[in-house]
């Protein structure tokens, strides 16, 4: 019995000595690594981040070393590692899902660098793809239309499994845009419609040829069919006038520029043509004897010139 206790004490002392030696070695390696990697870096923020990552790595290595040294039997070590692995999988679910999302991005290519995407309400141009995150140059936000705000947005790669990904430019660089103008009821709305269509056709003549070619290429991979590529103006009656909505194709990154150019051209053409007024919220007072669609039929009072007698009650 005494020999058994003595063997156990010797084994424990051996394990303690081995653990102490391993911890000292890991500690020295961490210190040396920090010195070597941060020697030529002047930015305090980068030095702090690198040092923190090295210390965290050293802590993980120390923990693993202690588990290996103090595990009595290999079977128990496997059980301990299984429990620890399950706990880490639960605690690091988002991180592991981001790694899986990175594999999906690399293999399936829902987007790549240079694409303009929208995911979970975040829009921007993809400028960097890493294992844990995707970095976007944000568009929209407080800026009207699809123009850059100057902010960088870091999106976890796990989002590719959780939210739909809208790609503005993959395989097809063009989008449909709409420009609405409301004219008054007394305006020559037919002429306004023709002006908008003709100006849009002039500006999108080259775009239509490019769109047709890209649709032919994209139809080899996707079931895509566009029967109408030319601009078209839809007419709708609204409260304060007649709304003319121009629908046309443009490049995804030039939506605001094309809308600006078309708006200026349309306003100048309206001014030159005359007889076209832009509508705005207003209140109009019309007399009851001025019907909108022709004269009203004459009443008995109007035909005889006298007021008909009142009928007695019960007649």
Q: Per residue in 260-313, pLDDT tens?
A: 999 999 999 999 998 999 988 777 676 665 555 666 566 665 555 555 555 554
The band of 253, judged by pLDDT with boundaries at 50, 70 and 90, is confident
* pLDDT higher than 70, residue 98: yes
- Asked if residues 125 and 139 have their Cβ atoms less than 8 Å apart, the reply is yes
State the pLDDT at residue 152.
92
pLDDT at 119 over 90: yes
- pLDDT band of residue 118 (cuts 50, 70, 90) is very high
| Cα three-residue angle 56-58-64, rounded to 5 degrees | 105
206: its two tokens: 């080259």
| CA distances from residue 289 to 110, 142, 294, 298 in whole angstroms, order as listed | 65, 51, 10, 11
Query: In the numeric block, which tokens belong to residue 52?
Result: 């923190």
pLDDT for 20 equals: 86
Angle between helix 205-218 and helix 189-203 axes, rounded to 10 deg: 60
Please tell me which residue, 78 or 167, carries the higher pLDDT value.
Answer: 167
* pTM exceeds 0.75: no
pLDDT exceeds cutoff 50 at 174: yes
pLDDT(171) > 70: yes
In the prediction, which pLDDT does 242 show? Answer: 94
In whole angstroms, give the CA distance from residue 76 to residue 88: 18
pLDDT the model gives residue 62: 83
Q: What is the mean pLDDT of residues 202-217?
A: 78
């Amino acid at each position: 019995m005494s020999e058994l206790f003595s063997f156990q004490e010797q084994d424990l002392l051996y394990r303690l000595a081995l653990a102490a030696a391993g911890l000292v070695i890991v500690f020295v390696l961490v210190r040396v690594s920090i010195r070597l990697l941060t020697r030529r870096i002047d930015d305090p923020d980068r030095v702090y981040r690198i040092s923190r990552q090295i210390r965290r790595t050293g802590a993980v290595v120390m923990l693993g070393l202690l588990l290996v040294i103090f595990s009595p039997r290999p079977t128990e070590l496997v059980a301990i590692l299984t429990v620890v692995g399950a706990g880490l999988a639960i605690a690091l679910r988002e991180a592991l899902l981001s790694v899986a999302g990175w594999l999906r991005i690399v293999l399936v290519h829902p987007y790549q660098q240079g694409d303009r995407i929208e995911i979970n309400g975040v829009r921007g141009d993809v400028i960097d793809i890493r294992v844990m995150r995707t970095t976007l140059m944000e568009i929209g936000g407080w800026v009207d239309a699809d123009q850059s705000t100057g902010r960088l947005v870091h999106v976890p790669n796990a989002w590719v499994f959780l939210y739909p990904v809208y790609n503005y430019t993959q395989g097809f660089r063009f989008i449909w845009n709409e420009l609405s103008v409301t004219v008054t009821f007394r305006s020559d709305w037919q002429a306004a419609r023709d002006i908008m269509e003709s100006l849009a056709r002039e500006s999108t003549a080259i775009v239509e040829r490019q769109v047709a070619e890209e649709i032919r290429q994209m139809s080899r991979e996707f079931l895509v069919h566009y029967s109408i590529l030319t601009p078209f103006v839809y007419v709708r009656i609204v409260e304060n006038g007649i709304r003319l909505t121009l629908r046309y194709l443009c490049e995804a990154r030039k939506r605001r520029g094309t809308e600006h150019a078309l708006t200026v051209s349309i306003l100048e053409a309206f001014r030159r043509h005359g007889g076209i007024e832009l509508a705005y919220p207003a209140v109009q007072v019309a007399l009851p004897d001025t019907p909108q669609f022709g004269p009203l039929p004459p009443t008995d009072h109007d035909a005889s010139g006298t007021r008909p007698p009142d009928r007695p009650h019960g007649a």
